[in-house]
Amino acid sequence: MNVFLDYCRKDVDIKDATSELLLTKHLDFIMHYVNNKESYENVTTEYLRMSGMYWCLQAMDIMGYLHKVDANEIANCVKRCQKPTGGFAPAEQHDEHLLYTLSAVQIMVMLRKVDEIDTDAVARYVTSLQNEDGSFYGDECDEIDTRFSFCALATLHLIGRLENSINVEKAIDFIFLCYNFDGGFGRKPGSESHAGQVYCCLGSLAIVDCLEMIDVDRTTRWLAERQCRSGGLNGRPEKLPDVCYSWWVLASLKILGRLHWIDNKSMIKYILACQDKEGGIADRPGDVADPFHTLFGLAGLSLLGNHSKILAAVDPVFCMGKKCLDDLSIC
């Protein structure tokens, strides 16, 4: 009944929530996934393993424990997933995709081993996925999405191949075709605004230094309206809050310099309420924790700055530690 009521009123109740960040518990939770490669969870999610590796490693980096992993072992695992096209697959027996190519590059940059992959081949692969209208396919299945535009631009920026690879002007034009009257962005022209797409489009524009082309107040207003009474953020109107939007929305506001437009205290309270007492962070209080929401919950807390003594600073464009990015950091 409580779940039904939450769905009807599009929010959740926060009861008996801890005000403490359970950092040690979260580290143990993430290390379980890092050290148990043949666990049921890892085997059944092989189709997104590359992104799963990124979520776990980036969470560890934010918590200050990236040094606990075997960098060479992970780098070798990533390298085995690079295909003749230059793109990366989520696992060895799968096909390459732009989403996993970005995750692979992020991992190698994080480990300071990007020079161990064929970046020229990566650049050729990304370039091959751009369409005449400036949009990008994710793979050979011909689906277009502004997520793929971001993946393309972010990947090329991180490997230092943004210039002379793709048609940047057309890529920007396509992104603005997806800019809606309400200030948000959709996945393609005419699609509903969604916080994940807003993040991808703002991140793309930040990478190519074109943020001045948007109506900042209109977009900020749409983002600020994502905060529910519980303090959590949703991805679009009339939806329940979800911890992952602690990243997509907060990072977007940070990119725009408008992080102060949301209620900081209630946002932190919501994220902490989504912690599992045994470790990990879930989408909503009482749900099952997973590495995806653990990363984005920690990253959101990092952006808010209240836990700066124990959480590393994160770049809002790439969701990577500023220390790892060095000169590649944008915001």
Res 38: pLDDT: 66
Query: With 60 as the cut, is the pLDDT of residue 9 above it?
Result: no
Q: Give CB contacts under 8 A, 24+ apart, made by 88-95.
A: 88/50, 88/122, 89/50, 90/46, 90/47, 90/48, 90/49, 90/50, 90/51, 91/46, 91/47, 91/49, 91/50, 94/46, 94/47, 95/139, 95/140
pLDDT in tens, 11-56: 998 877 788 999 999 999 999 998 877 665 665 578 789 999 999 9
Beta-carbon contacts of 190 under 8 Å, excluding residues fewer than 6 positions away, are none
Res 71: pLDDT: 96
Res 1: pLDDT: 41
Res 215: pLDDT: 98
Helices marked H in 184-309 — which ranges? 195-207, 216-224, 245-256, 264-273, 291-304
Directed axis angle between helix 216-224 and helix 245-256, to 10°?
A: 150
Query: With 90 as the cut, is the pLDDT of residue 7 above it?
Result: no
Query: With 80 as the cut, is the pLDDT of residue 208 above it?
Result: yes
CA dist list (Å): 103 to 51, 243, 318: 5, 20, 10
Tell me, what amino acid is at 199? Y
Query: With 80 as the cut, is the pLDDT of residue 148 above it?
Result: yes
Spatial distance between the Cα atoms of 67 and 5, rounded to a whole number of angstroms: 44
First to last CA, the chain: 44
Spatial distance between the Cα atoms of 250 and 227, rounded to a whole number of angstroms: 10
Q: What is the mean pLDDT of residues 173-180?
A: 98
Q: What is the mean pLDDT of residues 166-173?
A: 98
% of the chain exceeding 70 in pLDDT: 95
Tell me, what amino acid is at 300? G
Beta bridge mates, 137: 144
Res 126: pLDDT: 98
**Angle at CA of residue 14, ends 13 and 18, nearest 5°:** 170
Spatial distance between the Cα atoms of 250 and 246, rounded to a whole number of angstroms: 6
Res 123: pLDDT: 98
Most distant CA pair in the chain, distance: 57
Res 61: pLDDT: 98
Query: Tokens 């039904």 identify what position?
Result: 4
Query: With 60 as the cut, is the pLDDT of residue 220 above it?
Result: yes
CB atoms within 10 A of CB 266: 15
Beta bridge mates, 315: 320
- Which tokens is 327 given? 């000169």
Q: Going from the N-terminus, what domains does the chain have, and what CATH number goes with each?
A: 10-328 (1.50.10.20)
Res 174: pLDDT: 99
Res 35: pLDDT: 85
Q: Are residues 315 and 322 in contact, defined by beta-carbon separation less than 8 angstroms?
A: yes
pLDDT in tens, 253-302: 999 999 999 999 999 999 999 999 999 999 999 999 999 999 999 999 99
% of the chain exceeding 90 in pLDDT: 86
Res 5: pLDDT: 45
pLDDT in tens, 130-145: 999 999 999 988 899 9
